[in-house]
Amino acid sequence: MAITDLAELISSMSARLDPEPYVWVTGDVAPAGCAPVVTVEEAEGTTWVVPEAQARAAGAAHEFRSARITLEVHSALEAVGLTAAFARALADVGISANVVAGFHHDHIFVPWDRRDDALRALDALQASG
């Protein structure tokens, strides 16, 4: 069952790092051979977040080499404060957070070279809850 209580969300969240890097691609169509994990439609075009290896193999121009961290807690879509809490924890150590909320989990994309720092910050947040 989805959780709405902020204290319960923070104390029970567990940050899981996806081992592969992701990049951000934009255009009229997704690059051939790429399986996006995120798709965002905007007035200026579509953005896809794809595994870096797939983008490179497709020869696709891309930006923001990032790590995907999944919070392993079933946060309700109407829950209040979780995004603010983890964004603050990451901001306090100078890490940007690009957040995508799925039906079951929140996914945070952080700079690839700061992924370990991000995990430490999220673990500290969970321990404080």
β-strand 15-17 against 63-71: which pairing, if any? antiparallel
CATH of the domain at 86: 3.30.2130.10
Q: Domain limits at 72? A: 6-128
Q: For the segment 41-80, what is each residue's pLDDT rounded down to a tens digit?
A: 999 999 999 999 999 999 999 999 999 999 999 998 999 9
Q: Which residues of 64-102 are buried (b: 16+ CB within 10 A; e: fewer)?
A: bebbbbbbebebeeebeebbebbeebbeeeebebeebee
> What's the number of domains the chain is made of?
1
Q: For the segment 82-127, what is each residue's pLDDT rounded down to a tens digit?
A: 999 999 999 999 999 999 999 999 999 999 999 999 999 999 999 9
Does residue 115 belong to any structural domain of this protein?
Answer: yes
Does residue 25 belong to any structural domain of this protein?
Answer: yes
* Contact residues for 103 (Cβ-Cβ < 8 A; gap 6+): 77
Question: Chain-centre distance of CA 26, in angstroms?
Answer: 17
Does residue 1 belong to any structural domain of this protein?
Answer: no
Give residue 88's pLDDT: 97
